[in-house]
A and B are shown apart, each in its own frame.
Chain A
Amino acid sequence: MSATAAAAPSAESRNAPAPDSIIDARHLSKVYDLGAQQVRAMDDVSLQIKKGEYVAIMGPSGSGKSTLMNVIGCLDVPSSGEYWLRQQEVSRLSEDELAEIRNREIGFVFQTFHLLARQTALRNVELPLVYAAVRAAERRERALELLRLVGLEARANHKPNELSGGERQRVAIARSLVNRPALLLADEPTGNLDSRTGKEILELFDQLHAGGNTILLVTHDPEVGKRAARIVRVRDGRIESDTRRP
């Protein structure tokens, strides 16, 4: 099922998405009011992603892909449209409700890693579980399990400044997965890494995809985009194309 570019009837849009749907965005728009001028950063975007897909969102800077990613990641809300994350409509939720959704459903991987500098790798990986109010012993166990998965078990007690860029991104990936999210959302995950390390990280994403994770990767790098089975191109706040690798 590809993205529905055409406007769906409103009666239909009130229906809950299919059971295997992870993202079902319907006519999302985001308008920034800059005083005299209104900027339409996202314009009638509809996008569906099913469980287990590996999708790359590509576009030049200023294309609106960051806005789309923020809305998909529940960091921001659309000005209009519906956004179903799994079986829940989240576009009108309050800030705290969105925080809970982010905590439970979304794993973030950022370009600049965004690890807490003063905390060890283990503590960083545990962080989402802290906000999910998981007990300390269980947190530790799960965080170690994820660090093992990304091959950094031995570095658990190192702080970010004692780790290489690639290791930091692995810690961030472990953190993104620790609460078993429905969606792994990666924003230019290789942007701050050299090409060899970047390749390793992308191989890790391949493994995670193979393991059943749903991955949405935002990038402007065609080499990175090639990894995904499906590429959604964004330009001027609209979806320009949505293609699947044969």
Chain B
Amino acid sequence: MIALIEGIRIALSAIWSQKLRSALTLLCVIIAILSIIAVVSVLDGMDQYVRDEVVGAGANVFTLRRVDELKILTDLQAFLDSLSNPRITLADYKALHAELTLAEFVDPLRTLGGTLEAVASGRSLKNVEIQGRGAEYPGIEDIELSAGEHLNQGDVDQRREVIVLGDEVATTLFPDVDPVGQKVRLDSRHYEVVGVFAKRANVLGRNRNVFGVVPLSALFAQYGQFRSINVLVKARQLDGFGAAVEEARALMRVRHGLRPDRDDDFNLTTAEQFLTFWEKISSGIFATLIGVVSITLVVGGIIIMNVMLVSVTERTREIGVRKALGAKRGNILFQFLVESVTLTSAGGIVGIVLGFAVAFLVGAFTPFPYAVKPWSIVAALGIVFAVGVFFGLYPASRASKLQPVEALRRE
């Protein structure tokens, strides 16, 4: 116990006497620990967020699509094969809407990017996501209004040129007037604003407030209906979700005339699939993190070993004096081990603090809540301890083996 306290005391004074060198030495360790803490915190925050927002919003919703874009990352061949799938048409949507018995709501979706301009003021906003939808989307998506109304069946049937604006579009185009009742221009047509959506939080860093919803029928009337659409389906009950997906699959296979031995030539995406995808991404990020951190730690460890070796050489006489006064091999070994572990632990603590600072900043400027994970602190401290022992062992053992007579003689 005395040895431990003395060891730490000696180590701290040695580190403190070489402040700049210690700081530079520890840079790698600090960066490694900072990355662990920051990425783990942010990733965990994102994970929590994805689960709450994405899955919570569309728990029993699935989407019929021509291709599954997520596959481009997980299964490239399947993605390339799916590029030859037939389009999902408005007729498919109508059939699903009419025939699905297990679905509560069915709504089409087709998006395009466009520039919206306020007719009265001439203010405009580029790259607005224009979503062509039916009238049932409020039942499928958890999307609230701050003013006006949603699209209604009449708007869709009559192909009325009306639009519900996302929060940011409304505040940008109409900073000082009530947007409802105003006109916005989308290319050649004027759409009347009938409602404004409440502000939505970002998902995965994407701003979800720069959009507008118009009747798909009106959008097709303006641009022609040559492109594939998506169809969103909300199952009637959560426990009947699988059955609802299968019902839609069977219907689409019949519509596409697929024999039983053929694969689907369309895609049904569920929130669960999105979660699986997200888990793949986050575990990929995590694996990359471990790789980067390992390399950084090895580099940091080698630097520490080098500095410790220099320190042993510089302090040969001190080691000689200590041995002359009764220090055993074990005392010297311990002293230098404690020194390297104290060194790496200091780096670890700085890294943990900076890591949480980074995570906090990410939390402050993005919608991801950052989560302080106690295990990440424990892991970080365990890692720096191991690095300190592993890379400190050789210099410490060199120091402990110095012969007192020779050590005292050296300058």
Binding site for B on A (CB under 8 A): 70, 73, 75-76, 95-96, 99-100, 102-104, 108, 110, 114-116, 118-119, 127-128, 130-136, 175, 179
Q: State how many angstroms separate the Cβ of A96 from the closest Cβ of chain B.
A: 4
Q: Mark B59-75, 1 if CB is under 8 A from A, else 0.
A: 00000000000000000
- Check B97 for interface membership: any CB of A closer than 8 A: no
Interface residues in B56-115 (C-beta closer than 8 Å to A):
none
- Compute how far the CA of A115 lies from the CA of B322 in the bound complex, rounded to whole angstroms: 10
Q: Assess whether B318 is in contact with A116, with CB atoms less than 8 Å apart.
A: yes
| Most chain B beta-carbon neighbours within 10 Å: one of A75, A96, A115 | A75
Q: Which residue of B lies closest to A70 (CB)?
A: B405
- Compute how far the CA of A104 lies from the CA of B322 in the bound complex, rounded to whole angstroms: 14
Q: Which of A103, A110, A118, A128 is close to B408, meaning CB atoms less than 8 Å apart? A: A110
- Compute how far the CA of A118 lies from the CA of B9 in the bound complex, rounded to whole angstroms: 12
Q: Mark B150-172, 1 if CB is under 8 A from A, else 0.
A: 00000000000000000000000
Q: Assess whether A100 is in contact with B2, with CB atoms less than 8 Å apart.
A: no
- Compute how far the CA of A128 lies from the CA of B5 in the bound complex, rounded to whole angstroms: 15
Could you pull out 23 A-B pairs where Cβ atoms are within 8 angstroms?
A: A75-B324, A75-B405, A95-B329, A96-B330, A100-B328, A102-B323, A102-B324, A102-B325, A103-B326, A110-B408, A114-B408, A115-B321, A118-B17, A127-B322, A130-B2, A131-B322, A131-B326, A131-B327, A131-B328, A135-B2, A136-B2, A136-B5, A175-B325
Q: Which of B317, B318, B326, B405 is close to A99, meaning CB atoms less than 8 Å apart? A: B326
Q: Assess whether B329 is in contact with A96, with CB atoms less than 8 Å apart.
A: yes
Q: Which residue of B lies closest to A95 (CB)?
A: B329
- Compute how far the CA of A95 lies from the CA of B404 in the bound complex, rounded to whole angstroms: 10
Q: Assess whether B404 is in contact with A75, with CB atoms less than 8 Å apart.
A: yes
Q: Which residue of A lies closest to B1 (CB)?
A: A133
- Check B6 for interface membership: any CB of A closer than 8 A: yes
Nearest first, the 9 closest Cβ-Cβ pairs linking A and B are A103-B326, A131-B326, A96-B328, A99-B328, A114-B321, A128-B325, A75-B404, A75-B405, A76-B405
In the assembled complex, which residues on chain B have CB atoms less than 8 Å from the CB atom of A104? 326
Q: Assess whether B405 is in contact with A131, with CB atoms less than 8 Å apart.
A: no
- Check B331 for interface membership: any CB of A closer than 8 A: yes
Q: Which residue of A lies closest to B318 (CB)?
A: A116
Q: Which residue of B lies closest to A67 (CB)?
A: B405
Q: Which residue of A lies closest to B331 (CB)?
A: A131
- Check B20 for interface membership: any CB of A closer than 8 A: no
- Compute how far the CA of A99 lies from the CA of B405 in the bound complex, rounded to whole angstroms: 12
Q: Which of B318, B326, B328 is close to A128, meaning CB atoms less than 8 Å apart? A: B326
- Compute how far the CA of A134 lies from the CA of B2 in the bound complex, rounded to whole angstroms: 8
- Check B378 for interface membership: any CB of A closer than 8 A: no
| Interface residues on chain B, number (Cβ under 8 Å) | 24
- Check B3 for interface membership: any CB of A closer than 8 A: yes
- Compute how far the CA of A75 lies from the CA of B322 in the bound complex, rounded to whole angstroms: 12
Q: State how many angstroms separate the Cβ of A29 from the closest Cβ of chain B.
A: 17
In the assembled complex, which residues on chain B have CB atoms less than 8 Å from the CB atom of A175? 325
Q: Assess whether B327 is in contact with A116, with CB atoms less than 8 Å apart.
A: no
Q: State how many angstroms separate the Cβ of B18 from the closest Cβ of chain A.
A: 10
- Compute how far the CA of A178 lies from the CA of B323 in the bound complex, rounded to whole angstroms: 16
- Compute how far the CA of A196 lies from the CA of B214 in the bound complex, rounded to whole angstroms: 103
Main DSSP-derived SS at the B contact region: helix
- Compute how far the CA of A100 lies from the CA of B327 in the bound complex, rounded to whole angstroms: 8
- Compute how far the CA of A102 lies from the CA of B321 in the bound complex, rounded to whole angstroms: 11
Given contacts A116-B318, A128-B325, 9 further A-B contacts (CB under 8 A): A96-B328, A99-B326, A99-B328, A102-B325, A114-B408, A119-B13, A131-B331, A134-B2, A136-B2
Q: Assess whether B329 is in contact with A127, with CB atoms less than 8 Å apart.
A: no
- Check B54 for interface membership: any CB of A closer than 8 A: no
- Check B292 for interface membership: any CB of A closer than 8 A: no
In the assembled complex, which residues on chain A have CB atoms less than 8 Å from the CB atom of B320? 114
Q: Assess whether B326 is in contact with A100, with CB atoms less than 8 Å apart.
A: yes
- Compute how far the CA of A104 lies from the CA of B327 in the bound complex, rounded to whole angstroms: 11
Q: Assess whether A116 is in contact with B321, with CB atoms less than 8 Å apart.
A: yes
Q: Assess whether A108 is in contact with B324, with CB atoms less than 8 Å apart.
A: yes
Q: Assess whether A114 is in contact with B317, with CB atoms less than 8 Å apart.
A: yes
Q: State how many angstroms separate the Cβ of A93 from the closest Cβ of chain B.
A: 12
In the assembled complex, which residues on chain B have CB atoms less than 8 Å from the CB atom of A115? 321
Q: Mark B306-348, 1 if CB is under 8 A from A, else 0.
A: 0000000000011011111111111100000000000000000
Q: Which of B2, B13, B321 is close to A118, meaning CB atoms less than 8 Å apart? A: B13
- Compute how far the CA of A128 lies from the CA of B6 in the bound complex, rounded to whole angstroms: 12
Q: Which residue of A lies closest to B326 (CB)?
A: A103
- Compute how far the CA of A128 lies from the CA of B326 in the bound complex, rounded to whole angstroms: 6
- Compute how far the CA of A135 lies from the CA of B6 in the bound complex, rounded to whole angstroms: 11
In the assembled complex, which residues on chain B have CB atoms less than 8 Å from the CB atom of A70? 405
Q: State how many angstroms separate the Cβ of A112 from the closest Cβ of chain B.
A: 9
- Compute how far the CA of A175 lies from the CA of B326 in the bound complex, rounded to whole angstroms: 12
Q: Which residue of A lies closest to B332 (CB)?
A: A99
- Compute how far the CA of A102 lies from the CA of B6 in the bound complex, rounded to whole angstroms: 20
Q: Which residue of A lies closest to B327 (CB)?
A: A131
Say yes or no: A99-B6 contact (C-beta < 8 A), given A70-B405, A75-B404: no
- Compute how far the CA of A135 lies from the CA of B329 in the bound complex, rounded to whole angstroms: 21
Q: State how many angstroms separate the Cβ of A9 from the closest Cβ of chain B.
A: 32
- Check B201 for interface membership: any CB of A closer than 8 A: no
- Compute how far the CA of A131 lies from the CA of B408 in the bound complex, rounded to whole angstroms: 18
| Most chain B beta-carbon neighbours within 10 Å: one of A96, A119, A131 | A131
Q: State how many angstroms separate the Cβ of B135 from the closest Cβ of chain A.
A: 80
In the assembled complex, which residues on chain A have CB atoms less than 8 Å from the CB atom of B328? 95-96, 99-100, 131
- Check B14 for interface membership: any CB of A closer than 8 A: yes
In the assembled complex, which residues on chain A have CB atoms less than 8 Å from the CB atom of B408? 75, 110, 114
In the assembled complex, which residues on chain B have CB atoms less than 8 Å from the CB atom of A128? 325-326
Q: State how many angstroms separate the Cβ of B262 from the closest Cβ of chain A.
A: 80
Q: Which residue of B lies closest to A101 (CB)?
A: B326
Q: State how many angstroms separate the Cβ of A127 from the closest Cβ of chain B.
A: 5
In the assembled complex, which residues on chain A have CB atoms less than 8 Å from the CB atom of B5? 136
Q: Which of A100, A102, A127, A133 is close to B3, meaning CB atoms less than 8 Å apart? A: A133
